[in-house]
Structures are given as structure tokens and as C-alpha cells.
Amino acid sequence: MFFSKAGKAAVEWARGTKVPYKEFALTLEKIEDLSGKKKIDELAQFFTKVLDFSPDDLTACVYMSVNQLGPSYEGLELGVAENSLIKAVAKATGRQESTIKTDLRAKGDLGTVAQQSRSKQRMISTPKALTVPTVFKKLTEIAKLSGVSAMNKKVDAISGLLIACEGIEARFLVRMLAGKMRIGLGEQSVLSALGYAFTLSSLAKNEKKVSGEKLDSLKDANVKRVKTAYCECPNYDRLIEVALTEGVEALVEKCKLSPGIPLKPMLAHPTKGIDEIMRRFRDQTMTCEWKYDGERGQIHKREDGQIFIYSRNQENNTTKYPDIIEKISTCIGEGVESFIVDAEVVAIDESGMILPFQVLSTRKRKNVTDDNGVKVGVFLFDLLYFNGEPLVREPLRKRRELLRSNFKKIEGSFYFATSVDTNDTDEINAFFDEAVQNKCEGLMIKTLDTEATYEISRRSKSWLKMKKDYVDGVGDTLDLVVMGAYIGNGKRTGVYGGYLLGCYNPATEEYETPIYYQFDPTLKPDDIFAPHLVFEVKCADITISPRHKAASGLSEDGKGISLRFPRFLRIRDDKNAEDATSSEQVLEMYKNQELSANQKIEKEEDE
């Protein structure tokens, strides 16, 4: 018998029985209050006990710790809308939806509201204790509900589960359903906890006692094994099965890169400019590639001929790109049986010219039947697996050679990333301008020979990114009127979480009485302000937006303009709302950034 914090009899968990959901919820509650490494230790203790008492439940416990129902590439997501959750809490607790909404505003967390609502309820009988596998199964069923009345069915199923919950269980159930656990436990911590737990469990099984130092080194070795295996094969079912049946030592050998299972991509370090790059890569051979502004596409071909496309975050994007799937065979050379290529998928026009990212973002995400009016080009830049062999430990030069000799450029569909192998600063600068002129974000600079392996899941110093917004940003800052604000939640409970900013259009005299603000209904702020306050803002890029209205009356196609990555600099006390950056200025700034750095210089010289 175990006892909860309050000292009441909490849960029965005997060896050989299922893991009580309450034990899991209590562990999460403790983790929420701990910091750093202590979170990992707490979770490791729990996993160790699961390994001892209920090893078959370990996979469900691990998935629930990372708030997933399966590998992320299988795309089974919770993320139930807040309104549906409010309905379910109301239904399960007999409280009014409006009261729950008021509580939510005050607390900023629906999980806590659900917990308190359950505690206030008088129970006629104690519900049967929930177990982790039961909750996991129910959550999976909820996530799989689809079709016309799916929302209602979800609300019913959730309220059913909530009725079976006691206090703390409701808090974490609701948070899981909302897709936000808010306990500060990242995937890397969960992997570490798993490594610790395998160590502790095996020592206990073998009744071995070791020194603190030895224990730390054993733990470190197992954490490394777990993380390496997970990088190549991000699938907890497989990983835990191997560890349980063959031992943690077998993980690295048995959980290898294989087509059909997406791997976590290598990422790049940002740089401020060419000087930093030259310093970092002083004695290295390097290549500069255009940095395309699209969506990362990891394309896999399995030996059975099946093709998959995965996103940067291992989501399965195969159904988003039927056009790529259809044409891929044209770019594959003879004798290619299986592969994993790394590429950027970019919107292009009929003549193969690259289009801005915004165009790609209008493409539907799921079950696209054709190119959905948005033609794409695939820019191949790496080969990670080829005909049964992982290539990630080979240097980029060799991977690139294999890529270029076994795949073909197909005009209008498949290309190799434009590159130049050079250490010459002038050449790099010119290549950077050329990239920007061709609607690319800048350059990726990569080592070719030494320290040039593909570092799965790492933000590596062997890949540097030089983006136009780091180099020159959008030259000027903007002074924008604060039109409204959105109420914050989570860490921002009690303060505003974001603002809607606008420019001033003197032609339509937007600030005359009655106050007239132009914004898309989807952007409606919680609170709307009279036009007084002006924020000075810097941004990475000015882009065309389907929702924002700035300068929409001035552009030819009537589309508005928005800012990418706006950063607050200061309040402009010295400006009235009418002194804010005008719509015309915003449009001018947008047009100016389309010119390459070279053109800008020419333009300035002309003026």
C-alpha cells in the first residue's frame, strides 16, 4: 500500500499488477516542483519501479511521460481544443461551462481547474482505480476518433475518463489531452531517466552494490546507449522491447537507422557573418550551399519500394506530397534499392523559379490529391542511408558524391542544392547575394572532409547558417500602434501574452472617431485599446500574409503584410499613434528587402 502526499491511502501497486495511474500522476506532480537533474532522478525512480513491478507497462509510461501515444511520425495526436475540454470538465463535474471559464481565467491552467472541480464534487461511490495502460488505451481511442460527430464523441469519452479520475489524476489527464504537460520535462530528460532506470534495475536484479562514482559511470554509459539508439530509431516500442529482451547493451547494435523510421535531423548554428565563419572553419575544406526557404523533407525508400516523406519534426508528410511520391522514380538512378535523402521542399513556379515560403505554407497538409495548386521543387542536399548501409558516419564529401552519382536532376521537380566549394570571402559574399536574390534565406556552410559526419539530432558546429536577417535584418525598425492584447496563460497568467500591432494609414484616417481598426477576425484580441501606445519593433523579415491587413489597400493584389519574428525594442513615448510607421512605409520596406544587397548598393548610388 502506498500513501499520497496528503497521507491518505492512495494506490495499490503490487508486483505483477498494472501501474496505477495515480502513481504516475503523483510522480508528475513531484516532478513539476523539482528542478533540473532532480526531475530526471524522480522519473528514473518511477521507471525503475515499473521495471520491477510491471515491466510490460514501461512503454505506455514512457510515451505518457513525453505526452505521446506512439512514435511522432505516426501522427497520432491529442491536442484536444480547449472548448471541448471545458465542455467535458463541465459534463463530468456538473459545473457550468461559464464558471469553469472564469476559473480558467484566474488559474491559467485547465488541469488545475479540473482537479479542483473534481475535489469539490461529492462522490456517491469511489470509482475503480485507473491504471496507466487503461488511460493510455482510452487516450489512443480518443485521438483516433474522426468523422462528423467526433467532437461530441470526444467530449463524452473524456468526461467518462474524468469521472473515473481522482483529484491529481484529473489535472494531468486534462493537461495531456490539451497537449501541454507543463512540468518542464523534455524528451532528453525522459531518455536520461530511462537510461538511469535500466542501470538501477539491472543492479537490483543482480543484487550488486557499487560505489557512487561507479554508479554514475554506469548510468552515463546507459544514457548514451539509449540516446544513440533513439536518435537513429525514434521508436520507444522498439527500443524498450530490445532493452527488455536483449539488454540495454544491445540497443546501439539493434536499433539502427532504417528507411521508414525518420531520424532527427542535423541542425546548424547561426552566425553573424562571414568573419565568424572564416574563424570557425579556418583550416577546414568547406562547401557553401544555398539555404532554401521551404520545409525540410527527409525522403525514405524502403527495400519493399514504399516511399515516405518526413518533416523536420518527424511528422509523416507523405500524404502532403503525392506529386513528389509520383515523380521520385524519375530521379533515382539504376541499382538504387533503398535510401534516406535529406532535402528542402520549396514552392516553385512553372519555370522552376523559387517562390517565397508563404506560397508553400498555403498548401494543404493532409490527403492532398495533386499538387494542390502549389508546385514544389525538391532540393537534395544529403544522403544518409544507401542500399542497406547507413552513411551518417561518412564525411559529407563522400555522401554528396554518392548522392550526385545515384540521383538525377529533373527540371521542375528534383535538384541538387546549388553549392560552391570555396574558402574565398569575396566568392562567398557574392554567392550569398546570389542566394538571397533567388529567394533563398542565405547560405548553409558545411565542412566537407574533417568533422564532416552527419550528426543526427545535433545542432552542429560543422554546419553554419548565414541568414539574411542575421546579416542585415530589415534595415529599419518599425514604430507600431498597440491595437489590442491577448490574455496570457501558463507562465504569463495575469499578464498579457501577446499584442496585436498595427501601422497607421493616413489615407483612411484610421484613428478618427469612431476608432476603426482593420484586422482579420481570426486575430481578434481579448482586449482592444484606444490608439495611444506605440512600440518600436525589429523584425527578421517582412512578408505577405493571408491574415494581416497592413498596407493591404496599397498592394496590387490587396494582400496585407506581416512581420516575421518581431522583437519588442522599446515604448516610443515621443510618438503619438498618428506618428507610427505608415502603411506606405511598410510597403516600401517590403519592396526594398526584395532587392539583393548588391542591388541595394546600386540603388543607393543612383539616388
Please tell me the distance from the alpha carbon of residue 138 to that of residue 545, in angstroms, as a whole number.
40
Q: Smaller CB distance to ligand ATP: residue 109 or 441?
A: 441
Note whether 510 and 517 are within 8 A (CB): yes
Minimum CB–partner distance for residue 414 and ligand ATP (Å):
14
Q: Smaller CB distance to ligand ATP: residue 384 or 444?
A: 444
What residues contact 246, with CB distance under 8 A and at least 6 apart?
254
Q: Catalytic residue among 291, 439, 446, 549, which?
A: 291
Q: Smaller CB distance to ligand ATP: residue 53 or 470?
A: 470
**CA geometry: angle 594, 595, 596, nearest 5 deg:** 115
Minimum CB–partner distance for residue 185 and ligand ATP (Å):
21
Q: Smaller CB distance to ligand ATP: residue 379 or 590?
A: 379
- Report the candidate in 225, 232, 239 with the shortest Cα–Cα distance to residue 264: 232
**Size (the chain), residues:** 607
Measured over the CA atoms of residue 484, residue 488, residue 493 and residue 496, the dihedral's sign is negative
Note whether 580 and 511 are within 8 A (CB): no
Note whether 336 and 350 are within 8 A (CB): no
Q: Smaller CB distance to ligand ATP: residue 34 or 471?
A: 471
**φ and ψ at residue 171, rounded to 5 degrees:** -60, -50
> For the residues of 267-329, what is the DSSP string, one character each?
EEEE-SSHHHHHHHTTT--EEEEEE--SEEEEEEE-TTS-EEEE-TT--B-GGG-HHHHHHHH
Please tell me the distance from the alpha carbon of residue 28 to that of residue 181, in angstroms, as a whole number.
9
Please tell me the distance from the alpha carbon of residue 378 to that of residue 364, in angstroms, as a whole number.
17
Which residue in the shown chain puts its C-beta closest to ligand ATP?
Answer: 296
Q: Smaller CB distance to ligand ATP: residue 442 or 502?
A: 442
Please tell me the distance from the alpha carbon of residue 324 to that of residue 309, in angstroms, as a whole number.
9
Minimum CB–partner distance for residue 597 and ligand ATP (Å):
19
What residues contact 501, with CB distance under 8 A and at least 6 apart?
480, 481, 482, 483, 535, 537, 566
**CA geometry: angle 545, 550, 554, nearest 5 deg:** 100
Q: Smaller CB distance to ligand ATP: residue 171 or 439?
A: 439
Minimum CB–partner distance for residue 357 and ligand ATP (Å):
9
Q: Smaller CB distance to ligand ATP: residue 463 or 504?
A: 463
**Residue 563 in 3-state DSSP?**
strand
CB atoms within 10 A of CB 212: 7
Q: Smaller CB distance to ligand ATP: residue 153 or 312?
A: 312
Q: Smaller CB distance to ligand ATP: residue 416 or 496?
A: 416
Instruction: Give the chain's radius of gyration (CA, Å).
Output: 27
Which residues contribute to the site for ligand ATP (CB under 6 A)?
A: 267-268, 289, 291-292, 296, 312, 344, 381, 417, 441, 444, 465
What residues contact 505, with CB distance under 8 A and at least 6 apart?
551, 553, 582, 583
Long-range CB pairs of 136-140, under 8 A, 24+ apart, other chains included: 136/60, 136/63, 136/64, 136/69, 139/69, 139/78, 139/176, 139/177, 140/69, 140/70, 140/76
Quick check: is 591 catalytic?
Answer: no
Torsion-angle region of 408 (φ positive above 0: left; ψ -120 to 50: alpha; else: beta): beta
Minimum CB–partner distance for residue 261 and ligand ATP (Å):
19
What residues contact 480, with CB distance under 8 A and at least 6 apart?
501, 502, 503, 534, 535, 536, 537, 580, 581
Minimum CB–partner distance for residue 267 and ligand ATP (Å):
4
Minimum CB–partner distance for residue 326 and ligand ATP (Å):
23
- Report the candidate in 245, 244, 251, 264 with the shortest Cα–Cα distance to residue 223: 251
The b-or-e profile of 186-202 (16+ CB within 10 A means b, else e) is ebebbbbbbbbbbbbbb
Positions marked active-site: 291
